[in-house]
Structure 1
Amino acid sequence: MKTQLTVRGNVATAPRRVVTDSGTVIVEFRLAATERYFNRQTQEWEDGTTSWYTVSAFRRLAENVFRSFSVGDPVIVSGKLTIKQWTSKEDKKGTTPEINAETAGHDLLLGFTDFTRYTKSRSPLVAEDSHDGPLIDHGWEEPEALSA
């Protein structure tokens, strides 16, 4: 059984983009979520334990995460949690929590972002990406910035 989970943290590794043989786009990155608590003795906020997650996004969400997230960005990720067991080549064993993201975005409590919506188009667009060459053609037209 998979558990729904929402995590607030920081992007710890550059999102890595892969396209499978069948054309599915997958983006993966590590997320660091550090607890914060108020120390009543010092009257200051302090960092607690950091939990580490591997986040995977697929298809359109993957493309948007790849274009939007950078190392250090404060983000919120929601998705299905899976605990993976692993064994290294040196027979070291461990577990890794993985989140299959259903949605993700910047944490707007800590800053602001400019949002660009993609809309369907009759003529396909292949967007160039500064990270890793051309993106998959989704049939989207030129993005329009939304105005408030």
Structure 2
Amino acid sequence: MAQQQALITITGYVGANPTQFNKDGMPHASSFRMASTRRYFDNRTQQWKDLPTTWITVKAYRNLSENICQSLKKGEPVIVMGALATETWADQNGKPQSRIVLEASAAGHDLNRGVTTLRKFVKPNDQHQPEAKGTEPRVGADPFVRQGSVAPVEIVVPEDDEAAEFSGDTGEFDGDIY
């Protein structure tokens, strides 16, 4: 019988910049501390009140880990979904210790608190790359990517007359979207 794990979602703020902990030759792995403070409205005082802040360690692996390290910074609002896990170890005196961590399956900025922009990476073996009409694509490296972590990003710049325009009236794009 397969073990079932419930996914939970937590919102909060990045408490420290993500750090890598993987060893050479192993898949990318990282962690960061996250602060989540629940609030409630006190009808008696007619004010919002904070409950104590819950601090949790978030761990991520592989592509998610790489993207977290490049995207999230201390103080930014985040939303993380994943499964809870218990880590155990013995301290310096041999006494057993444990803590609960959130093993992330998805993470990103909390869009209730601001806006963000996605930069999708082109994989070296991706055969479904967009083609610009009548223009040669301009290829360049994303300046925000650490050297050697991902493939170069293909940047396609349309001619001015081919640029897509958004119509607020109809809620649709007019033209090609790249």
TM superposition score normalised by structure 1: 0.78
Deviations 1:86-121 (A, max 9, x none): 443256654322111111000001111112111223
Deviates more, 1:83-92 or 1:58-67: 83-92
In 2, the alpha carbon distance for the partners of 1:60 and 1:115 equals 15
Which residue of 136, 140, 149 maps to 1:136? 149
Give unpaired runs (5+ residues) of structure 1.
Answer: none
Which residue of 77, 82, 85 maps to 2:80? 77
Deviations 1:14-71 (A, max 9, x none): 1002442224111110111111111112211111022221111111111111111011
Tell me, yes or no, if the aligned pair for 2:16 and 2:33 is still in contact at 8 Å: yes
Tell me, yes or no, if the aligned pair for 1:128 and 1:135 is still in contact at 8 Å: no
Aligned residues: 142
Q: How does 1:1-148 map to 2 (within 5 A)?
A: 2-90=5-93, 94-121=97-124, 134-137=147-150, 139=151, 141-142=153-154
In 2, the alpha carbon distance for the partners of 1:92 and 1:75 equals 34
**Letter of the structure 2 residue corresponding to residue 141 of structure 1:** V
Superposition CA RMSD, Å:
2.9
In 2, the alpha carbon distance for the partners of 1:86 and 1:38 equals 40
Moved over 6 A (4+): 125-128
- Describe the shift of the 1:143–1:22 C-alpha distance in structure 2 as closer, same or farther (beyond 3 A): farther
- Identity over the aligned pairs, expressed in percent? 32
CA displacement at 1:85 relative to structure 2: 3.3
- Describe the shift of the 1:135–1:74 C-alpha distance in structure 2 as closer, same or farther (beyond 3 A): farther
In 1, the alpha carbon distance for the partners of 2:91 and 2:141 equals 39
- Structure (1 or 2) with the greater strand fraction: 1
In 1, the alpha carbon distance for the partners of 2:111 and 2:155 equals 22
- Describe the shift of the 1:126–1:61 C-alpha distance in structure 2 as closer, same or farther (beyond 3 A): farther
Tell me, yes or no, if the aligned pair for 1:25 and 1:63 is still in contact at 8 Å: yes
Deviates more, 1:102-111 or 1:87-96: 87-96
In 2, the alpha carbon distance for the partners of 1:82 and 1:20 equals 21
TM superposition score normalised by structure 2: 0.67
